[in-house]
Amino acid sequence: MWKELETGLMHYGYHNLMGNISGNHDMARYISLAGGALQLDEDHKKAGWKRDIGTGRIESYDYLAMLHVFNMTLPGVPCIYYGDEIGMPGANDPDNRRMMYFDGYTSHQIRLRERVRRLTSLRTANPALLYGDLFPLHVSRDIFAYVRIYMGKAVAVCLNKGDDFFDLRTLELPFGLKMESMVPYMGETMVAPKGFTIMIHE
């Protein structure tokens, strides 16, 4: 993943206004793909006409939360397709254009919406996420950890798609920053399987 991200950053720069999208009206909803309600190799448009497409496995809400963390902490402009803040399911057009609703949420939808709210608050309040350069800390098949730094402020992010815990304290930060001086904003220093952690230093 870092290679593709680095290519984009080299092309557009670290301080760009390119949109990082969670989804759009030309594709199936991410949560339905992540949860297995839709298969990658099937016709998503036909699937929307033939059956009721849901979210699939309950873990799909955590996978979508991880996508929001990624989009909200990258250089560029995060763009949330309506309904992705609550995990609205759907196949391809027109099933991905369902009517938005504002009440009657499940506990999983409420938790996801709260996570997105906290992410938007963090991005608004922390200059490192608006202007900071991005430095990879750990890149492997299951772990992608990076830090964004600006004017002494830092935000470290770790995405763990694996089945094992990952200890953030093993990572070395650039410019003399110490992981011990970072405090958890979301998650813990031991990053849970299929989870994420955001640490901040002010």
pLDDT digits 0-9 by tens, 116-160: 999 999 999 999 999 999 999 999 999 999 999 999 899 999 999
2: confidence class by pLDDT, cuts 50, 70, 90: confident
Q: Does the structure show a pLDDT above 90 at 16?
A: no
Pick 127-201's CATH classification: 1.25.10.10, 3.30.420.250, 3.90.1150.10, 2.60.40.1180. 2.60.40.1180
Q: Where are the domains of the chain?
A: 14-125, 127-201
30: confidence class by pLDDT, cuts 50, 70, 90: very high
Q: Does the structure show a pLDDT above 90 at 1?
A: no
pLDDT digits 0-9 by tens, 163-193: 999 999 999 999 988 888 899 999 999 999 9
At 5 the pLDDT is: 83
Alpha helices in 104-157 (DSSP H): 107-125, 127-131
Tell me the C-alpha distance between 6 and 19, whole Å: 16
> Mean of the per-residue pLDDT values for the chain?
94
199: confidence class by pLDDT, cuts 50, 70, 90: very high
